[in-house]
Amino acid sequence: MTPMRLRNQRLQMSTLCGLLCLGPLNAWATAEAEAEVEVEVQDKATDTAQPELAGTWYLRIRTATDARVPIIGNTHIRSTTHLLVSITDADGVLNQTQKTCIVDSRPSRSITRTVLPKAFVDHLPVKTYPVSVSESEDGSWTYNADLHQQYVGYDGVKAGGVIPDNAKDPSVFDWDEDGKPGASILIDLPLFGHIRIYMVQTNHTLLNGQLVNDNRIEGRSKQLVLDQRTIGADNRLLATSPKLSVGKGHDRFEMMRIEDGATCTNIQQLADGTF
């Protein structure tokens, strides 16, 4: 056999051996790759599972209002509302129910103070509304809630989208059951003392935030609607409606998971020292 023919045979045998020997290795490598892909898909499915939010929460909402008030003048009012919240999950559909426990309002001008009677806070409606959570590209989860438009001192349906400006409007009623039209608040003024104001108000707030972890949500509040009319007062000097607009700053919110069965008493304890 010539050297050239011998070299060709060896080359053919080497090539054949390479194909036969690499076959099992290729099959093993393919199986391993498929297994890795399957694990990756499973991990991704696990990672994208919607967080478990059902339970009881403490919600703290901050809002700001700029107001021009008769006699008092311009003032910037920061308000923090403390609420008891429960979230239910029905096959991935989340609904949130809120009850207002405390409303803490602080004007920038120290010469005046607004006091919300207990009857006012107690009559703020318990509301249920849908909430949504969605995964962002970076793997974080966003939280969004529309708290729906709220009507204080009057019936929003009867009003037909127009806030009433007097106590005789058919949409106005004794909202807080104190014998006076609309909702009653107290204004504390030097020389005048406590003056009772009868008013109607509407507001509409959104919450947009992120899940920090399974037990905490943080973000910003946004007021879509804010309007108020004074329909009466103990002192005629304060019977004029203030001009309101949404103020800047003081717009953060937090939600913290708390024990099931909690009440407004627990919220009051948690709210102590916060604003």
Residues 6+ apart with CB under 8 A from 111: 72, 189, 190
From residue 199, give the alpha-carbon distance in Å to each of 16, 159, 213: 94, 15, 41
Question: In the prediction, which pLDDT does 6 show?
Answer: 43
Domain residue limits, the chain: 1-49, 56-271
Tokens of 209: 């935030």
In order along the chain (275 residues), what is the average pLDDT of each group of 10 residues?
Answer: 47 42 45 50 57 97 94 92 98 97 93 91 97 96 98 98 97 98 93 91 98 97 98 91 96 98 98 97
* Beta-ladder partners of 65: 77, 246
Q: How far apart are CA 82 and CA 273, in angstroms?
A: 12
Question: In the prediction, which pLDDT does 1 show?
Answer: 53
Question: In the prediction, which pLDDT does 32 show?
Answer: 53
CA-based max dimension of the chain? 126
Nearest to 185 by CA among 154, 158, 156, 152: 152
Residues 6+ apart with CB under 8 A from 79: 62, 63, 64, 65, 103, 104, 105, 106, 250
Question: In the prediction, which pLDDT does 34 show?
Answer: 52
Question: In the prediction, which pLDDT does 44 show?
Answer: 45
Question: In the prediction, which pLDDT does 10 show?
Answer: 47
Question: In the prediction, which pLDDT does 142 show?
Answer: 98
Question: In the prediction, which pLDDT does 93 show?
Answer: 96
Sign of CA dihedral 231, 234, 240, 241: negative
The H or E element that residue 222 is part of is strand 216-233
Q: What DSSP character marks residue 139?
A: S
CA angle 95-143-76, nearest 5°? 100
Residues 6+ apart with CB under 8 A from 65: 76, 77, 79, 226, 244, 245, 246, 247
Under DSSP, is residue 192 helix (H, G, I), strand (E, B) or coil? Answer: coil
